[in-house]
Amino acid sequence: MTMIFRDSKGAIVAIDEEGHLQCCYLGTDPSMFARPTSDLREMDYSSAEHEMKQLQIAIKEQQHKSGS
């Protein structure tokens, strides 16, 4: 019996010591998502600290306005 597997990405092909070939399909398609490269740059700690202080002030003001 001859079977042709066209457009079957993700198939597992195995051959044993006696030369028997098996093609198995698990019913799932492989992910074609490619993770974008990260932008590696040095962290500006003083800028981040300033932003954190501003956010803390804004949170406290909002909590004061809402009565929490």
User: 21-33 pLDDT, tens per residue?
Assistant: 888 877 766 667 7
What pLDDT was estimated at residue 26?
Answer: 74
The whole-number pLDDT of residue 1 equals 47
Q: pTM above the 0.85 mark?
A: no
The ranges assigned to domains in the chain are 1-29
Task: Show the tokens assigned to 59.
Answer: 């949170």
Residue type, 21: L
Alpha helices in the chain (DSSP H): 45-66
Query: What average pLDDT does the structure give for the chain?
Result: 80
Within the chain, what is the greatest distance between any pair of CA atoms?
78
- The 3-state DSSP class for residue 21 equals strand
Residue 36's pLDDT band (boundaries 50, 70, 90)? confident
Separation between Cα atoms, residue 10 and residue 21, nearest integer Å: 16
